[in-house]
Amino acid sequence: MLTIEEIKKNGWLIFEAIVGSKAYGLNTEKSDTDIRGVFVLPEGMFYSIDYIPQVSNETNDIVYFELKRFVELLSKNNPNILELLNVPEHCLLHRNVLMDLIKPEMFLSKLCEQTFASYAYTQIRKAFGLEKKIINPIEKERKSVLDFCYIYDGREAIEAGKFFKENNYLPQKAGLAAVHHLRDCYNIYYSEQNVYSGIVKKEEANDVCLSSIPKGERPIGLLFFNKDAYSAYCKKYREYWDWVDKRNVERYNTTIEHGKNYDSKNMMHVFRLLLMAKEIALEGKVNVWRKDREFLLGIKQGNYEYDELVAKAEILKGELSSLYGRSALQLSPDLNSINNLLIEMRRRYYRSKNDDQRTEH
């Protein structure tokens, strides 16, 4: 498998830069260093079935894109990729002269209205998702099937746990038999002689357990297992505790400290993206280094309410529609010109490599 180290060692890298908060000027002491790059596969690997579009390290802090993939993403006006053409000088780590052939104006288009705004609204959903998780934490002790069972005793439906407690019954001494034509409904029987299999076989079981019921036995009630609610709970439980295990502790602590119950870093990026989209429409360029640093960091620090930010974002999104409608930007990139550019870049790169090899011999 191709690695970051192999690409650098073999001299296939034609571009490398620091991206993210350090390129935006929004970094703090605890900010990570994210790096993105562009490489060109040797001819043999490019023409073979071994084509590799991108390579990353284990943490995804470093990601390199093969030239074809890089240009393809540029042509789709991918926000993160367009930024690479305009990173501040101090963030550039390596730049081959071949990159001079790529002109930002060839790619910038009215597609940016959608790509930047769509990405921004993905961040809003992420921020809101965190809000829901913080406000509605799920207990570590997992609920069981029995917690989603209700018993109708002829008068009312009672929570199964409450029913057993009030009648001094033990769930493991009860037996269930399916009721035909009634989904997830069971006649419930009880015996102190342990002749039944219980409501569930094991505590971690995901369904109720049926018993063999002797002829003539009379049920003590009708049990309903709310299977849909149980399945939904299991999904939320798994998602919540997966999130707890994988969450960025620093970002979570920041959220708890400012007390606004949303991921403020996500919301900061919402406005960075929307404002960058606005600047593209007005100025025809991507401003990576942010002059609105104080405003954006204020969002990250939780100086605004969630609803207030969503309202501001909606206003900005509305402005984009009008600005892009009047903009002189091309509707979409000219794919024929871009394809010719890609061919020319690859031709020059391979020619240069072949010349180097002949010189060495």
What is the pLDDT at residue 248?
Answer: 53
Sequence-distant (≥ 6) Cβ neighbours of residue 37 within 8 angstroms: 7, 13, 15, 16, 17, 62, 63, 64, 65, 94
Calpha distance 275→41 (Å, rounded) = 36
* Average pLDDT for runs of 10 along the chain of length 361: 94 97 91 95 90 93 97 97 96 97 96 89 62 58 93 90 94 95 95 91 88 92 95 87 62 50 80 95 96 94 85 89 94 97 96 73 53
Do the beta carbons of residue 188 and residue 166 sit within 8 Å? no
Structure tokens at 190: 């009880």
Calpha distance 151→130 (Å, rounded) = 36
pTM of the predicted model as reported, rounded to 2 decimal places: 0.65
CB atoms near residue 227 (< 10 Å): 16
What is the pLDDT at residue 185?
Answer: 96
Sequence-distant (≥ 6) Cβ neighbours of residue 227 within 8 angstroms: 148, 184, 207
Phi, psi of 36 (to 5 degrees): -125, 150
Closest by Cα among 50, 34, 32 to 42: 50
What is the pLDDT at residue 135?
Answer: 44
What is the pLDDT at residue 105?
Answer: 94
Do the beta carbons of residue 299 and residue 267 sit within 8 Å? yes
What is the pLDDT at residue 247?
Answer: 55
What is the pLDDT at residue 290?
Answer: 96
